[in-house]
């Protein structure tokens, strides 16, 4: 397993050798590059970013970016989303990225990870399958691997649902980006995620190309609130995550994400200490 981070870098246009070296010196082998507008990215600027990473001895562990929703019932907008994914595949190739991150999207206009009742309908699932077939064809042509993520609020709300979409698309270019915290949707799993984690790895472990490593905790409120918290301070069993990854996807990247830069060193220390206690290899 390899250690990466989503963070610690400026906007992609401002990445230079010094900023890349800062990430490498912080103890990470790879970092995610995020494109706010992938369709507008100048290939010459992207190549310059790749040169900065190479000079720092840093890998691009994942290419990410914004694009229109892949399950939008408006076919014109969904087509725009596909253009964005195709652009990310081209950019990922220029960066020699290990994967291109893909989100399933949401019908909620406020954002791709917000709830909507129609996110879980057969019609939405079929649109997602169609979009991902197109995306996988583009990725395969570019020589890239897609890393698809799920979430309890998204069309991919359970491990089985992710398995279903991978099987329906049936492309070696479409793989899985595991983020266990995203699948915590009830009190029992928040208290003890063992059942959920084993289901994720039993169904999807051999398809994992990257992992977003976080932690979570129940909030003391009268309705259910599950918060993301600093790694090592919540109830997520990241020891089990690392053990199952070492068995099933030992070459995958583990990315620390969703933290302000000043909290990243503490999260890194917690994850590296955990891997060391378990005797598991974590390359950084």
Within 8 A by CB and 6+ apart from 129, the residues are 165, 168, 169
Name the residue with tokens 């790879």.
30
Which tokens sit at 277? 């206690």
Q: What is the mean pLDDT of the chain?
A: 97
Angle among Cα 171, 47, 211 to the nearest 5 degrees reads 45
Nearest to 271 by CA among 221, 217, 219, 230: 230
DSSP letter at 172?
T
pTM of the prediction? 0.95
The position carrying tokens 């010459």 is: 44
What pLDDT digit, counting tens, does each position of 221-272 carry? Answer: 888 899 999 999 999 999 999 999 999 999 999 999 999 999 999 999 999 9
- Looking at domain 2-278, its CATH class is alpha beta
pLDDT tens digits, one per residue of 59-103: 999 999 999 999 999 999 999 999 999 999 999 999 999 999 999
Q: Note the maximum CA span of the chain.
A: 53
């Amino acid at each position: 397993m390899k250690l990466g981070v989503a963070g610690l870098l400026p906007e992609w246009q401002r990445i230079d050798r010094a900023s890349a070296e800062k990430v490498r010196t912080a103890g990470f082998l790879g970092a995610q590059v995020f494109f706010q507008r992938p369709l507008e990215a100048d290939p010459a600027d992207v190549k310059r970013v790749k040169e900065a990473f190479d000079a720092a001895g840093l890998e691009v562990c994942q290419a990410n970016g914004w694009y229109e929703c892949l399950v939008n019932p408006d076919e014109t907008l969904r087509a725009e989303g596909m253009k964005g994914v195709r652009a990310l595949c081209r950019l990922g190739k220029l960066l020699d990225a290990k994967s291109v991150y893909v989100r399933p999207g949401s019908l909620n206009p406020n954002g791709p990870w917000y709830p909507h009742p129609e996110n879980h309908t057969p019609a939405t699932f079929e649109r997602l399958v169609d979009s991902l077939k197109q995306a996988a064809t583009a990725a395969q042509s570019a020589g890239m691997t897609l890393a698809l993520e799920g979430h309890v609020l998204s069309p991919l709300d359970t491990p089985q649902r992710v398995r279903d979409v991978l099987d329906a698309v049936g492309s070696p270019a479409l793989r899985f980006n595991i983020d266990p915290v995203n699948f915590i949707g009830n009190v029992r799993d928040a208290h003890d995620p063992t059942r959920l984690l084993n289901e994720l790895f039993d169904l999807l472990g051999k398809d994992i190309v990257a992992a977003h490593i976080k932690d979570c905790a129940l909030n003391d409120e009268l309705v259910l609130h599950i918060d993301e918290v600093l790694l090592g301070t919540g109830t997520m069993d990241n020891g089990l995550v690392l053990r199952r990854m070492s068995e099933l996807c030992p070459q995958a990247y583990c990315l620390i994400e969703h933290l302000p830069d000043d909290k990243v060193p503490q999260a890194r220390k917690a994850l590296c200490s955990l891997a060391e206690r378990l005797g598991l290899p974590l390359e950084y």
